[in-house]
């Protein structure tokens, strides 16, 4: 029976962890956590900050309370959902950008501030809440003042609109709130929005035969992937942005374009940083990811292949088509023909050139 030790050997120690948070959520003993959620924390007497006495690193940490290693009890939940183990599903990446039954150039019709790349994802979730198709959505919420990101469980249309404009440039363990959604709040119609690694982990949840993962797989209704080449460490990136003399609360948009990170401010200023300069800020686990569009999703969305203010929408199966069609019919999204997939295919192929994980 696999345990967190196998995960540590194959993924954490190799620094290929995607940081998706899947293992944290499905662990029944709460043995796994990221350093920010350390169960051992205390206040600093001098400045009242929170001190987390754990080693620095990008991978989760174990509290050494694993049912398998301590009591030889069957579990293996963490291993079964990880997208980076040697037993992970290997997708057919020879055909890019994966299976697509329809594609669109689309934008949201919702009057919402701060929407990113057409606002289509926000519109899909808002419509799904209105129609009762979902009872929860796991997304990212970004502090509008500091840009500090966190995993967020939205349980209403209003919650979703609050997250509009959140940038998924940051590495955040999106799935860490899944346990709260399923085991605490007993939600059973969840939508999950995330980068390809997150959606790949969700795919594993839904494919595994592990009984301990069953409550989670039965609760997931929709998987929405966001185009992603790589994500950045928040603290390191914030330091770089401050070097531009830009305040985080002044940033309107951040996007990758033609080998540069483009930072646009609310004052109309535009700054660019060469991707090569950001290499030390990229999560190490991103460097082995070869999936740009999230091929295991129901719907993939991004700003590549469409003009400013629009989203490229890839419908991958009938399930995703049902959600998207209802969003369009109800007037939440307007569609203006097909998107151009040349750039999407080009970036997908470029990301495929990365060396896969070796075991």
Q: Where are the beta strands (DSSP E) in the chain?
A: 32-33, 42-43, 50-51, 61-62, 102-108, 136-142, 149-154, 190-194, 220-226, 251-257, 260-265, 270-274, 299-302, 311-315, 333-335
pLDDT score, position 87:
62
The separation between CA 317 and the C-alpha centre of its own chain, rounded to angstroms, equals: 20
Angle at 78 between CA 73 and CA 82, to 5 degrees: 150
**pLDDT per residue as tens digits for the range 246-302:** 998 898 888 777 778 888 899 999 998 888 888 888 888 998 899 999 999 999 999
d(CA 115, CA 108) in angstroms, rounded, equals: 9
On the question of pLDDT at 71 being above 60, the answer is yes
Sorting pLDDT into bands at 50, 70 and 90, what band is 231? confident
On the question of pLDDT at 56 being above 70, the answer is no
**% of the chain at pLDDT higher than 70:** 88
Angle of helix 318-329 relative to helix 120-131, nearest 10 degrees, comes to 90
**Ordered alpha helix ranges (H), 45-114:** 67-71, 77-81
255: β partners: 262
d(CA 243, CA 138) in angstroms, rounded, equals: 33
In a 3-state reduction of DSSP, which class is residue 97?
coil
pLDDT score, position 59:
86
What is the reported pTM? 0.89
Token pair belonging to 173: 């363990």
Q: How far is CA 304 from CA 124, 227, 293, 301, in A?
A: 19, 8, 10, 9
Q: Looking up tokens 């990008």, which residue turns up?
A: 58
């Amino acid at each position: 029976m696999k345990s967190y030790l196998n995960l540590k050997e194959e993924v954490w120690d190799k620094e290929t962890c995607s940081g998706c948070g899947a293992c944290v959520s499905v662990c029944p003993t709460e043995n796994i956590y990221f350093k920010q959620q350390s169960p051992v924390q205390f206040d600093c007497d001098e400045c009242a900050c929170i001190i987390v006495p754990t080693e620095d690193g990008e991978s989760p940490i174990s509290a050494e309370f694993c049912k398998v290693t301590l009591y030889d009890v069957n579990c293996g939940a963490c291993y079964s959902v990880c997208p980076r183990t040697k037993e992970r599903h290997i997708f057919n990446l020879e055909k890019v950008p994966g299976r697509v039954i329809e594609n669109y150039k689309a934008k949201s019709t919702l009057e919402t501030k701060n929407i990113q790349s057409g606002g289509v994802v926000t519109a899909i979730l808002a419509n799904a809440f209105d129609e009762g198709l979902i009872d929860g959505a796991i997304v990212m919420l970004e502090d509008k003042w500091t840009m500090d990101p966190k995993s967020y469980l939205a349980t209403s249309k209003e919650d979703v609109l609050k997250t509009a404009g959140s940038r998924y440039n940051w590495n955040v363990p999106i799935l860490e709130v899944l346990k709260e959604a399923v085991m605490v709040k007993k939600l059973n119609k969840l939508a999950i929005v995330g980068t390809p690694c997150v959606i790949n982990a969700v795919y594993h949840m839904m494919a595994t035969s592990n009984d301990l993962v069953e409550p989670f797989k039965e609760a997931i209704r929709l998987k929405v992937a966001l185009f992603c080449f790589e994500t950045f460490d928040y603290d390191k990136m914030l330091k770089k942005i401050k070097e531009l003399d830009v305040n985080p609360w002044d940033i309107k948009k951040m996007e990758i374009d033609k080998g540069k990170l483009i930072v646009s401010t609310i004052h109309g200023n535009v700054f660019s940083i060469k991707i090569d300069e950001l290499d030390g800020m990229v999560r190490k686990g991103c460097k082995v990811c070869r999936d740009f569009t999230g091929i295991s999703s129901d719907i993939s969305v991004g700003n590549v292949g469409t003009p400013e203010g629009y989203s490229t929408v890839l419908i991958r199966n009938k399930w995703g088509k049902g959600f998207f069609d209802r969003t369009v019919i109800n007037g939440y999204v307007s569609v203006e023909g097909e998107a151009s997939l040349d750039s999407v295919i080009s970036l997908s192929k470029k990301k495929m050139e990365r060396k896969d994980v070796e075991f």
